[in-house]
A and B are shown apart, each in its own frame.
Chain A
């Protein structure tokens, strides 16, 4: 185990000249999970299964390269002229009787959700699983405003029960072992001891299904939207999004401003690329398209509110990190990242975005103070770039991040670290014994 840490650090040393400055800060983060062998095994298994399924699915796609190029083009097209596309999306959705609201930051997004719910006279709602909802910390805001918000996604629900933050964009509790989940359910619900995943899933299913059938209001993070047609799309395998849009009378949609496609053809390409890379299948079990309220139909919402969330995204484009916003949040980079497989989602300082892309996005989007630690969470394997279906140059962006951090936060400590380093290597015997001791630990 220690060897693997040292190995990671050695790779790191070759990658970054400012290794000693950064490593001290990320060391603690990495140590949080690196000692838990069972969790590491679970993360490895998750990564291997996902990678195998993804490779198999992509190998069956005719013109896979053309599809990827179409997806890249679809992302770049909207990112190149984001304000214009957003204005067109707003026009298209308003024409479909959808109320459109704008949120500059997380606080405003939360305030708009709470205000809308109060306007509808509701104090409880169901929500789906989406990184944006985690990014703006909607659960916390709802709780502070006495609004009961229940995640309907089983993984997200389990994460909440276990007092964890989702560790993966697709499998929120992918890092938790069946034993850990069983222990949580035994503790919280006093269920009999069982380690059968089917029994555990059924146990969670029952209250969620009851809640679903009573639902009145749903808060949904949107996977993608098509500008031209004003269509929103939600993807899942268990059917919670389709059921929510069908049963809820009022739907509040939250959309990150960059997750849009110019038209339905680009949207179809993005859906397919997402499904192939996330789940290893050409389409998920349920693709739900939502366009306008359906007040006269048996199912379908009577009202739809759309909240467009910026939260520093336009700033990221201005700062030259726009390529990071190509991300479709499929989690492909997670399954090939040697660092993620060691440290899991918790290693990213409980940030909403984990894995290699999280190391780029978190400091830009949320907490600049995470910059140094998260930029160091890269072993430079380059696997993420190969796995990314929209060809985000993640290693380059992390490198650019490191340069930016070095420029904006001059490493004052470097002199001190290097003086220690100089003294260390100028005494070969002491240096050798130090290295030996490090390995022995």
Chain B
């Protein structure tokens, strides 16, 4: 992935209120994730199935650090869970968006219910724009469901005299951990 596209993505993502950090490999990203979660003082995390996250050895690392991962279960959904952890299927540089495609073990709920959302994103999943992503999708995953969620920054409501209130239904904070692969 070319550097200008990554920079464009970071600029656009920041513009809509998202935060980010970038690391040179998945191991460094794993340490960064642990540090970020510790800084937030959140030990319980609503997460995708950990094996589906794009960082090796994450389950053991989180466990050793005392974090407890909860798989999404809509019948026992704890509204007070403060942190959600997912990866992203793709990211769009021009708009600063991330794309989540649901599948077994990869629910949307960690991206929608908790107050904070951490997204693990390998840089090779950043596309220049929607057309580039759609083109790739047609080539590789044409037979899959098009049920997708495109997230561009944190959730907000500006219904009262256009005053922005962050964290209306979705997360108040969206943090991306980018890493090279």
Task: Mark A residues whose CB is within 8 Å of B.
Answer: 42, 45-46, 49, 152-155, 158, 171-174, 176-178, 181, 197-198, 200-202, 205, 208-210, 212-213, 229, 231, 237-240, 242-243, 246-247, 264-265, 268, 272, 281-292, 294, 296-300
Q: Does B84 lie at the interface of the complex (its beta carbon under 8 Å from any beta carbon of A)?
A: no
Q: Does B116 lie at the interface of the complex (its beta carbon under 8 Å from any beta carbon of A)?
A: no
Q: Does B149 lie at the interface of the complex (its beta carbon under 8 Å from any beta carbon of A)?
A: yes
| Of the residues B131, B150, B156, contact of A238 by C-beta under 8 Å | B156
- Alpha-carbon gap, A354 to B74, bound state (A): 38
Neighbouring B residues of A173 by C-beta, 8 Å? 159-160
Q: How far does the Cβ of B115 sit from chain A's closest Cβ, in whole Å?
A: 11
- Taking a contact as CB atoms under 8 Å apart, the answer to whether B107 and A285 are in contact is no
- Taking a contact as CB atoms under 8 Å apart, the answer to whether B108 and A281 are in contact is no
The interface stretch among B22-30, B51-59, B119-127, B163-171 is B163-171
| Of the residues A158, A284, A292, contact of B147 by C-beta under 8 Å | A292
Q: In the complex where A285-B170, A291-B146 touch, is A45 in contact with B162 (Cβ < 8 A)?
A: yes
Q: How far does the Cβ of A240 sit from chain B's closest Cβ, in whole Å?
A: 5
- Taking a contact as CB atoms under 8 Å apart, the answer to whether A181 and B79 are in contact is no
- Taking a contact as CB atoms under 8 Å apart, the answer to whether B95 and A282 are in contact is yes
Q: Does B3 lie at the interface of the complex (its beta carbon under 8 Å from any beta carbon of A)?
A: no
Q: Does B130 lie at the interface of the complex (its beta carbon under 8 Å from any beta carbon of A)?
A: yes
Neighbouring B residues of A210 by C-beta, 8 Å? 79
- Alpha-carbon gap, A374 to B4, bound state (A): 51
Neighbouring A residues of B169 by C-beta, 8 Å? 152, 205, 208-209, 212, 238-240, 243
- Alpha-carbon gap, A242 to B95, bound state (A): 19
| Of the residues A198, A212, A281, A285, contact of B155 by C-beta under 8 Å | A285
Q: In the complex where A155-B159, A237-B158, A290-B147 touch, is A242 in contact with B170 (Cβ < 8 A)?
A: yes
Closest B residue to A246 by beta carbon equals B108
Neighbouring B residues of A268 by C-beta, 8 Å? 130-131, 134
Neighbouring A residues of B109 by C-beta, 8 Å? 246-247, 298-299
Q: 14 A-B residue contacts at CB 8 Å?
A: A177-B161, A242-B108, A242-B149, A246-B108, A265-B131, A265-B134, A272-B130, A286-B149, A286-B150, A287-B97, A289-B148, A298-B73, A298-B109, A299-B102
Q: Does B77 lie at the interface of the complex (its beta carbon under 8 Å from any beta carbon of A)?
A: yes
Q: Does B104 lie at the interface of the complex (its beta carbon under 8 Å from any beta carbon of A)?
A: yes
| Of the residues A181, A213, A287, A298, contact of B160 by C-beta under 8 Å | A181
- Taking a contact as CB atoms under 8 Å apart, the answer to whether A46 and B157 are in contact is no
- Taking a contact as CB atoms under 8 Å apart, the answer to whether A298 and B152 are in contact is no
Interface residues of B in 86-105 (CB under 8 A from A): 94-95, 97, 102-104
- Alpha-carbon gap, A62 to B165, bound state (A): 30
- Taking a contact as CB atoms under 8 Å apart, the answer to whether B161 and A42 are in contact is yes
- Taking a contact as CB atoms under 8 Å apart, the answer to whether A239 and B170 are in contact is yes
Neighbouring A residues of B157 by C-beta, 8 Å? 154-155, 201, 205, 237-238
- Taking a contact as CB atoms under 8 Å apart, the answer to whether A264 and B134 are in contact is yes
Counting from the closest, the 5 A-B pairs by CB-CB distance are A239-B170, A155-B159, A238-B168, A197-B163, A201-B165
Neighbouring B residues of A158 by C-beta, 8 Å? 159-160
Closest B residue to A155 by beta carbon equals B159
Neighbouring B residues of A181 by C-beta, 8 Å? 160
Neighbouring B residues of A264 by C-beta, 8 Å? 134, 146
Q: How far does the Cβ of B15 sit from chain A's closest Cβ, in whole Å?
A: 9
- Taking a contact as CB atoms under 8 Å apart, the answer to whether A197 and B165 are in contact is yes
Q: In the complex where A197-B165, A242-B108, A243-B112 touch, is A282 in contact with B159 (Cβ < 8 A)?
A: no
| Of the residues A42, A171, A286, contact of B170 by C-beta under 8 Å | A286
